[in-house]
Structure 1
């Protein structure tokens, strides 16, 4: 999505079994490794130049050209958060179930059976 900066690289850090820290969980082939915890601390990697550059590229809208994992990522195509169709669907289902289940849960807690 144009003008969209993926929140994942601002919120999450992934560490693989061998200590490598890819830019994102979607970087399954480690095309954008930001560091290794066997060489640097988590804090050094998170605040380091490599992650900072990646964040700036996301903000500038250059992620797809710079990072192959971003070009194929569904988050960049549909967005993230409450505004996405998937999130709206889940929230709607949750509200609907809440309306349906709430009376039954309250009744069960009070010791009544329906």
Structure 2
């Protein structure tokens, strides 16, 4: 896997079976998407609505997200093109005089209500 697409070390993903769970969704498509893409924007609006967060300037919010370099957004679609969910990550590095550790901070994570509680 390309280092620019994932923060989760392969050995960690294997332990929690993350890749297999994502791939188990029948005919699912997993890809990086532009935060300006309409499918991601619609999903994000639903997500914020579920949290009770009201935004007056959606275009401004998405411009800020796009300008914040380092965000990685992955949108998962069903074989029929329905949004299954998304995850947004930020790459970061912890460093001290005796170590440096790359990590990923999950900023947003959402699964569509139509796909919740279905198991993996």
State whether TM-score is above 0.5: no
Shorter-chain TM-score category? under 0.3
Normalised TM-score (structure 2): 0.25
* Larger relative helix fraction: 1
Structure ranking higher in strand proportion: 2
Task: Give me the TM-score of the superposition, normalised by structure 1.
Answer: 0.26
